[in-house]
Amino acid sequence: MDEYALIMRHEDGTKVASPEQLQIWMKQTMDWIGGIAAQNKFVSGTGLPFADARVVGHNNVVTNGPFGEIKETIGGFIVVKADSVDEAVEFAKGCPVLVGDGNTVEVRKIAKRDGVH
Amino acid sequence: MQQQELIPHLFRTEYSKIVAVLCRRFGFEQMETAEDIASETFLTAAQSWRLNGAPKNPTAWLYSVAKNKAKNHLQRNTIFETKVAAEIRNNMSQIDENEIDLSPQNIKDSQLQMMFAICHPALSSETQIGLSLRILCGFGIDEIAEAFLTNKETINKRLYRGREKLRQEKINIEFPGPTEIDQRLENVLTTIYLLFSEGYYSVSQNNTLRKELCFEAMRLCHILIENEHTNKPQVNALLSLMYFHASRFEARIDKNGDLVLYDEQDTSLWNNEMISKGACFLKCATGGEHLSKYHLEAVIAYWNTQKADTPEKWENILQLYNRLLQIEYSPIAALNRTYALSKANGKQQAIIEAEKLNLVTNHFYFALLGELYTDIDNQKALQNFQKALSLAKTETDKRLMSRKIEKLLSVIDP
């Protein structure tokens, strides 16, 4: 069984949601993760709040971001166990981030530390 | 207390204390001797008290007899040692009676250290529970056999192998050092929780015995809380959780010994005193940096003591299970989470999630599916309950499933 990172991308990180809306998203995200964990397929997860975000660029130029030039921002990621990339994709389809138009979930296999990858 | 009740009662409370103190004094090499001396003490008591009546202070009487027997044993050993190994004469010739210290403090320390020794990771959990019941709780071999639904020989073998392992691994009866205390405490808590679950969800039909297993687990947890080194948030969380569960003892078993499901329990039988004790220990469990699975389970258990079937209750339980499963997966938590999901988000969503769990050898899985499909698709509900019935292991579970099937059949085909 392999591990896959499901990376949640928001099309526009500058959009401000109401506290009520945030609470609904939070519940949906927790229920989504709980459903994966209930299948014993959850490995770990990390939320990435937009507050205090910085981007360090070429020549150590620091900008508040990742907003502005970079349109897409990462809202967080979870790592799951799956027999195949298709199974990981099925998990990703349930991600509440996808309710937002333009948002995506990127599915990436975690490199095994076997000297090959 | 009548004399015929007095000795079994004292055996349950004092045997384990005497064994712990003697074992600590003798070491695991002479564990059987410690157990023999403790047993002989009760035999002497039974004989003497039958003739002369019970003494005024039976516990002190037992301690003094145990001390004498231990002293005699040490002296006999000394004579042997001095004859065979003269060079250690000086070390062994002085036997101080005070070395057998049955003071309350030493009893507590010895029991605590014994707990850590028995819950050593080198021993299998089965062995840990067996030894705990025998050594820490003073259970008889036949009682342990009944609790595990097996025979005395199996238990005797298991205990024998356990004692051997303690010697082979050179496990000492001592308090773990500060660097390993948390890890070792984790093992002790796991064993206590398994002991409690063994009683709470036991396959044994003997309800008195089952309750005793639970109360013993709680008593051991109390010993941990009484010591400042082990009085940690997660220990309080575990005790809180056990009190909340234990509050439903009288409500969850009916007159015939059948299990009464949570929804169908007479809530007036819930024990409010235990519920408030649970709340009290839950309060003591706060303040740590680490949120243990016992914390989450204790809060779930707290919500289960709330009678009102509110959306708030089920939403909270669902979120707690979501977090619990991220810390540690277990099939039973996955099933309970899905039940909470049906209560919080509706049956349709819960059915989709339940079908993904795929716990096809677990009869509770099909019982849950049966429950979820009831009133949505009664034919499917029926099939699932029948599957659950065919997989159920205990008579209680089988009767429970049969009742569900009967009820459903009367709706489908009145």
Whether B244 and B158 share a structural domain: no
pLDDT for B86 equals 54
Whether B255 and B217 share a structural domain: no
Class of the CATH-defined domain A2-109 = alpha beta
- Assign A11 a pLDDT band (cuts: 50, 70, 90): confident
pLDDT for B390 equals 95
What's the CA gap between A60 and A38, in Å, rounded? 43
What's the CA gap between B370 and B382, in Å, rounded? 6
pLDDT > 70? residue B336: yes
Task: Give the pLDDT mean for B249-257.
Answer: 84
Least confident of A108-117, B271-280, B330-339: A108-117
What is the number of alpha carbons within 13 Å of residue B364 lying toward its C-beta?
Answer: 14
Nearest-Cα distance to chain B for A34, in Å, is 4
Whether B75 and B110 share a structural domain: no
The answer to whether the bond into B331 is cis (omega within 30° of 0) is no
- Assign B82 a pLDDT band (cuts: 50, 70, 90): low
* pLDDT single digits (tens) B307-322: 888 999 999 999 999 9
Q: Is A35's Cβ below 8 Å from some Cβ in B?
A: yes
The continuous run of DSSP H or E covering B398 comes out as helix B395-412
* pLDDT single digits (tens) B232-241: 999 999 999 9
Chain A residues near residue B321 by CB distance under 8 angstroms: 34, 38
Model pTM score: 0.85
Q: What is the ipTM of this complex?
A: 0.88
Whether B194 and B280 share a structural domain: no
pLDDT > 60? residue B25: yes
Whether B214 and B191 share a structural domain: yes
- Assign B292 a pLDDT band (cuts: 50, 70, 90): very high
pLDDT for B89 equals 46
Chain A residues near residue B343 by CB distance under 8 angstroms: none
Question: Ramachandran region of residue A19, left (φ > 0), alpha (ψ -120 to 50) or beta?
Answer: alpha
pLDDT for B93 equals 47
Task: Give the pLDDT mean for B251-276.
Answer: 88
Q: Looking at B95-214, which runs of residues are DSSP E strands?
A: none
Give the pair of three-digit tokens for residue B122.
């080198």
Whether B207 and B239 share a structural domain: no
Q: Is B341's Cβ below 8 Å from some Cβ in A?
A: yes
* pLDDT single digits (tens) B93-140: 455 545 788 888 889 899 999 999 999 888 988 899 899 989 888 888
- Assign A96 a pLDDT band (cuts: 50, 70, 90): very high
**B17: helix, strand or coil:** helix
Whether B216 and B254 share a structural domain: no
Residue B24 lies inside a defined structural domain of this protein: yes
Boundary-marking domain end, from B230, B263, B280: B230
Whether B120 and B204 share a structural domain: yes
Task: Note down the domain range covering B3.
Answer: 1-102
Whether B60 and B154 share a structural domain: no
pLDDT > 90? residue B380: yes
CB contact under 8 A, A35 and B353: yes
Residue B253 lies inside a defined structural domain of this protein: yes
A–B: how many Cβ contacts below 8 A? 48
Number of domains in chain B: 3
Whether B183 and B242 share a structural domain: no
Residue B412 lies inside a defined structural domain of this protein: no
The domain limits of chain A are 2-109
Mutate which of A1, A25, A27 to disrupt the B interface (most B C-beta within 10 Å)?
A27
Whether B238 and B224 share a structural domain: no
pLDDT, chain B, mean: 89
> By the 8 A CB rule, do B246 and B281 touch?
no
* pLDDT single digits (tens) B141-170: 888 888 777 889 999 999 999 999 999 988
Nearest-Cα distance to chain A for B327, in Å, is 9
Q: How far is CA B134 from the centre of its chain?
A: 12
Whether B242 and B295 share a structural domain: yes
Choose among B319, B329, B358: nearest Cβ to A30: B319
Q: Is A25's Cβ below 8 Å from some Cβ in B?
A: no
